[in-house]
């Protein structure tokens, strides 16, 4: 007979989903699968998927979420054998507790088929809140302007009441915009007094149970007669011959200055040392500076004060980086491959200090990938190399690069096998030249990475998920390919994003080995979603595979912006002409080019928005 079973076989999927695979009797095959997120958020729908794998009659499934002080509405569904359905639980705006117990039961009539429970965390974070301040820091008498963007998990404007505050250092509420209906955007302004309290002030936004803050610096600055600016790149390479920059200055009226000037260079190594460890290197004196002047210091002069250039920092906020390049396969080791199936991976080329490689250097470089394998018996062998040619159109340069790489590898192989006669000076010199060429070309370029087989024991059956879509776009379709090396009648796929289960479906294979699935990309799946596929074999084994895909949600609509050059010739006002689809909110920010290039943290960039949206859900939003 069928009875109650307390199954503790919980399988984590990147700590996002808890999955139960249950059997109704000992020794029998799996009869049900439950996939449920570990997180729930206010004002959202909690979705879990239940699959009934065996039996002859439908199963009545109920899902209930409760704590010792409150409970949510119960979700019910009648699921036929071989089918998968979603159960939906509405999470209220404000949850009294953070931890709830999810209880899922299945019955046939009055007979209990299964019962499983787990803990679900209800996080107060249910919005993406972005804050943009008009300046990185403020002084007395200036206007503090803050723009707050509130987006739901579907990237739609949040239109519920919002409280926005500006707080002093001692958390006094000095300015507030309360109970506003923002339509996705809130603006807060406050005029600072002439002598404000110096320190870190805060802008706080409260929406439902979510509270988020951002800090800004307030101090008193007295305007000087003029300012001097030293413009330099953010970093330099240790193989550069000079440290170069530009010295300029202007009055508060933007009138350029002129006169004599002196420039002093300091250095410390490593750059993490305190500023008190800076050592004076040299000085340059200019008898006359008119508007601007270009300066340079020899890079070799730093070696008299530091042991090595890599990791050094000079006083003018310029850091010296290693010229080495790291080439690696993107992902977390060990990488998984499945015998007999296609394997693809992305290769990353980046500097050791995680700075991008110059485009000109990439265009003139070639990439050589040497795969090797080790069998279960311990024998090793090398597979054919993969050579990616340079993008340069100079065929002679390409050929010289290929010849140097091939010749160097051939010489190294001959030397390792003892095929080179040391007495022959010609071959020794040729081998030394080839070794030196390979070292120059591949110095700090190579990195060994390890791959492992999907399974080491048991029956060798595999399921693989790949995609022919490099970057999904909202409103379009993402194409996935599901492969298997054994007959599969049907499979279930789950779409997960931001800790939530977005969608689940069952697909019939009709006896083919490769099934193509097109998934409509919704805004709730941005900035990244994961497709998880699992199948159940005839003998009850559950096999799964998954892959993540980024979603491009920027620039989803066409907008226009132009400056009216014929409006005000006195240049006291600027008129901007904008165009966007109806219902759009157009927000403009004006700042000096110098501040824009510095990318101060008060400004919003694509990278910062993505980083904020990729924060672990449930993390404390107060900064």
Q: How far apart are CA 403 and CA 320, in angstroms?
A: 33
Q: What confidence category does residue 58 fall into, taking pLDDT thresholds of 50, 70 and 90?
A: very high
Structure tokens at 489: 């009648």
Mean pLDDT (the chain, rounded): 77
Least confident of 325-334, 470-479, 611-620: 611-620
Q: Of 594 and 60, which is predicted with more confidence? A: 60
pTM surpassing 0.85? no
Beta-strand runs (E) in 152-278 = 162-167, 173-180, 185-191, 199-207, 210-218, 226-231, 235-237, 242-251, 258-268
What confidence tier does 16 reach under pLDDT thresholds 50, 70, 90?
low
Mean pLDDT of 135-144: 89
User: What is the pLDDT, as a whole number, of residue 68?
Assistant: 85
Q: Is the pLDDT of residue 462 over 80?
A: yes
| Rounded percentage of the chain residues whose pLDDT exceeds 90 | 17
In the prediction, which pLDDT does 392 show?
57
3-state DSSP call for residue 347? strand
Mean pLDDT of 360-370: 76
386, 390, 395, 398: CA torsion to nearest 10: -60
How much is the pLDDT for 583?
78
What is the residue whose two structure tokens read 């008190």?
276
304 or 416, higher pLDDT: 304
Residue 382: predicted pLDDT: 81
3-state secondary structure of 360: helix
Distance CA 4, CA 27 (A): 15
Confidence (pLDDT) at 437: 41
At 285 the pLDDT is: 81
Beta-strand runs (E) in 38-135? 39-40, 45-52, 59-66, 75-79, 84-90, 99-108, 111-122, 128-133
Give the pLDDT score at 279.
Answer: 86
Distance of alpha carbon 300 from alpha carbon 323, whole angstroms: 15
| The pLDDT value given to residue 455 | 53
Region 163-170: mean pLDDT is: 82
Among 54-68, 90-104, 213-227, 443-457, the range with the most confident prediction by mean pLDDT is: 54-68
How much is the average pLDDT of 71-95? 90
The pLDDT confidence band at residue 241, using thresholds 50, 70 and 90, is confident
Whether 436 shows a pLDDT value over 80: the answer reads no
Say if residue 10's pLDDT is above 70. no
Identify the band that residue 438 occupies on the pLDDT scale cut at 50, 70 and 90: very low
How many residues are listed for the chain in this entry? 623
pLDDT in tens, 215-237: 899 988 887 787 888 888 777 77
Which tokens in the block code for residue 155? 């990237």
Q: Which residue has the higher pLDDT, 381 or 352?
A: 381
**Span 365-376, mean pLDDT?**
77
**What is the model's pLDDT at position 408?**
54
- At 395 the pLDDT is 63
pLDDT reading at 336 higher than 80: no
Tens-place pLDDT, residues 250-301: 887 778 877 777 888 888 888 788 888 888 888 888 777 777 888 888 888 8
Residue 18's Cβ-side half-sphere holds a number of Cα atoms within 13 Å equal to 20
């Amino acid at each position: 007979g069928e009875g109650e079973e307390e199954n503790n076989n919980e399988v984590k999927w990147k700590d996002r989903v808890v999955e139960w695979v249950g059997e109704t009797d000992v020794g029998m095959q799996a009869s049900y699968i439950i996939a449920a997120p570990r997180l729930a958020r206010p004002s959202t729908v909690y979705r879990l998927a239940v699959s009934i794998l065996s039996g002859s009659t439908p199963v009545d499934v109920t899902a209930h979420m409760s704590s010792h002080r409150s409970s949510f509405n119960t979700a019910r569904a009648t699921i036929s054998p071989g089918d998968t359905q979603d159960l939906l639980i509405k999470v209220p705006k404000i949850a009294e507790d953070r931890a709830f117990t999810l209880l899922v039961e299945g019955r046939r009539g009055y007979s209990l088929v299964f019962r499983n429970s787990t803990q679900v965390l209800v996080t107060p974070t249910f919005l993406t809140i972005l804050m943009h301040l008009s300046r990185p820091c403020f002084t007395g008498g200036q206007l503090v302007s803050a723009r707050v963007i509130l987006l739901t998990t579907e990237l739609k404007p949040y239109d519920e009441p919002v409280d926005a505050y500006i707080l002093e250092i001692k958390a006094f509420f000095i300015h507030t915009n309360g109970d506003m209906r923002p339509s996705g955007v809130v603006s807060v302004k406050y005029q600072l007094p002439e002598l404000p309290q110096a320190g870190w002030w805060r802008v706080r936004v409260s929406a439902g149970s979510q509270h988020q803050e951002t800090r800004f610096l307030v101090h008193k600055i007295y305007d000087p007669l003029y300012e001097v600016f030293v413009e330099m790149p953010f970093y330099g390479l240790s193989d550069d011959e000079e440290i170069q920059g530009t010295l300029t200055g202007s009055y508060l009226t933007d009138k350029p200055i002129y006169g004599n000037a002196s420039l002093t260079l300091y250095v410390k190594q490593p750059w993490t040392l305190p500023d008190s460890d800076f050592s004076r290197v040299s000085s340059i004196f200019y008898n006359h500076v008119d508007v601007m002047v270009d300066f340079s210091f020899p890079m070799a002069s730093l070696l008299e004060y530091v042991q090595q250039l890599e990791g050094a920092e000079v006083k003018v906020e310029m850091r010296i980086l290693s010229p080495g390049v790291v080439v690696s396969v993107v992902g977390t080791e060990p990488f998984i491959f499945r015998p007999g199936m296609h394997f693809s991976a992305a290769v990353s080329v980046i500097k050791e200090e995680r700075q991008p490689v110059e485009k000109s250097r990439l265009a003139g470089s070639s990439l050589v990938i040497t795969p090797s394998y080790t069998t279960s018996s311990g024998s090793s062998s090398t597979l054919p190399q993969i050579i990616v040619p340079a993008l340069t159109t100079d065929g002679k340069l390409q050929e010289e690069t290929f010849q140097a790489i091939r010749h160097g590898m051939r010489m190294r192989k001959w030397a390792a096998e003892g095929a080179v006669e040391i007495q022959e000076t010609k071959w020794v010199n040729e081998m030394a030249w080839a070794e030196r060429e390979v070292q120059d070309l591949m110095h700090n370029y190579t990195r060994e990475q390890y791959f492992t087989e999907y399974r080491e024991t048991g029956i060798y059956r595999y399921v693989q998920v790949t995609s022919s879509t490099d970057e999904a776009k909202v409103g379009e379709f993402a194409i996935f390919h599901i492969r298997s090396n054994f007959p599969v009648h049907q499979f279930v796929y789950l779409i997960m994003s931001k800790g939530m289960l977005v969608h689940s479906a069952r697909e019939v294979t009709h006896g083919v080995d490769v099934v193509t699935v097109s998934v409509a990309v919704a805004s709730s799946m941005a900035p990244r979603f994961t497709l998880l596929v699992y199948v159940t074999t005839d003998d009850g084994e559950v096999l799964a595979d998954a892959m993540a895909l980024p979603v491009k949600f920027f620039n989803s609509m066409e907008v226009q912006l132009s400056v009216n050059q014929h409006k005000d010739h006195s240049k006291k006002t600027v008129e901007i002409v904008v165009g966007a689809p109806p219902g759009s909110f157009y927000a403009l920010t004006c700042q000096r080019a110098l501040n824009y290039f510095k990318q101060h943290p008060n400004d919003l960039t694509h990278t910062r928005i993505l980083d904020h949206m990729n924060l672990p859900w449930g993390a404390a939003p107060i900064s």
